[in-house]
């Protein structure tokens, strides 16, 4: 049954290519597997771990299917783009994106998003640390994965990065919204 379905899909793909209809479709690299493995096989373990660990809808919606089909780099890229979009929406900062936006939004001196009054050293350190984590995630993960083909090519590394993106989303969800002026 499965072999017949795959054969029919191949014939349909050939038809699309022959008629020229496939030219308007996004060309993704070939997935690493023809069909998803059975949930009980060892090959399905990364997808099963993904399902157990990644639960934030902003991340799941954009990366689960890509991850499960072996498009690890694109799954990571979409997860960090989701972080970028979430921060832009929450901070109402749509004119900037990426590292520049994170530098502004989480600025230790006048943040738009913050978690405390920044009166104790621990509170100040938290703001400074997450400022660097958000900006660093855009500079060191989102940018390379967007500009380099297959920057992440194994499921374990991809899963680690996607879980980190989820942590950033969760942390942003509990952040308070300020004015971006000193003394929020």
- Put simply, whether the predicted model's pTM sits higher than 0.85 gets the answer no
Give the DSSP H or E segment for 7: helix 2-19
Whether residue 42 has pLDDT greater than 70: no
Residue 130 lies in a domain: yes
Residue 55 lies in a domain: yes
Residue 116 lies in a domain: yes
Residue 157 lies in a domain: yes
> 54: pLDDT confidence band, cut at 50, 70 and 90?
very high
Question: Can you give the pLDDT at residue 34?
Answer: 46
Question: Can you give the pLDDT at residue 180?
Answer: 72
> 8: pLDDT confidence band, cut at 50, 70 and 90?
confident
C-beta atoms surrounding 73 within 10 Å: 23
Structure-derived torsion over alpha carbons of residues 151, 154, 157, 161, reported in degrees to the nearest 10: 60
Residue 13 lies in a domain: no
pLDDT digits (tens, 9 = 90+) for 115-130: 999 999 999 999 999 9
Q: Treating both helix axes as pointing N-terminal to C-terminal, what angle do 121-137 and 98-105 enclose, rounded to 10 degrees? A: 170
Residue 144 lies in a domain: yes
State the Cα angle at 73 between 31 and 63, rounded to 5°: 80
Residue 111 lies in a domain: yes
pLDDT digits (tens, 9 = 90+) for 13-40: 666 666 655 554 444 555 554 445 555 5
25-39, 41-55, 146-160: least confident range: 25-39
Please state the domain count of the chain: 1
72-76, 96-100, 141-145, 176-180: least confident range: 176-180
What is the pLDDT of the chain when averaged over all its residues?
85
Whether residue 41 has pLDDT greater than 70: no
Residue 14 lies in a domain: no
Residue 107 structural domain:
43-177
């Amino acid at each position: 049954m499965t072999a017949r379905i795959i054969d029919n899909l191949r014939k349909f793909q050939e038809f699309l290519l022959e008629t020229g209809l496939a030219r308007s479709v996004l060309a993704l690299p070939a997935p690493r597997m023809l069909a998803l493995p059975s949930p009980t096989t060892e090959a399905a373990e990364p997808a099963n771990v993904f399902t157990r660990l990644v639960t934030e809808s902003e991340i799941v919606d954009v990366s689960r299917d890509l991850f499960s089909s072996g498009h690890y780099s694109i799954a990571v890229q979409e997860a960090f783009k989701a972080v970028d979009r979430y921060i832009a929406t929450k901070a109402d900062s749509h004119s900037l994106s990426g590292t520049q936006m994170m530098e502004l939004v989480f600025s230790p001196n006048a943040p738009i998003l913050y978690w405390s009054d920044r009166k104790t050293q621990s509170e100040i350190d938290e703001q400074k640390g997450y400022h660097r984590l958000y900006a660093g995630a855009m500079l060191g993960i989102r940018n390379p994965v967007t500009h380099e083909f297959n920057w992440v090519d194994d499921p374990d590394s991809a899963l680690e990065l996607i879980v980190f993106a989820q942590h950033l989303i969760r942390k942003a969800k509990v952040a308070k919204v300020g004015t971006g002026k000193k003394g929020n």
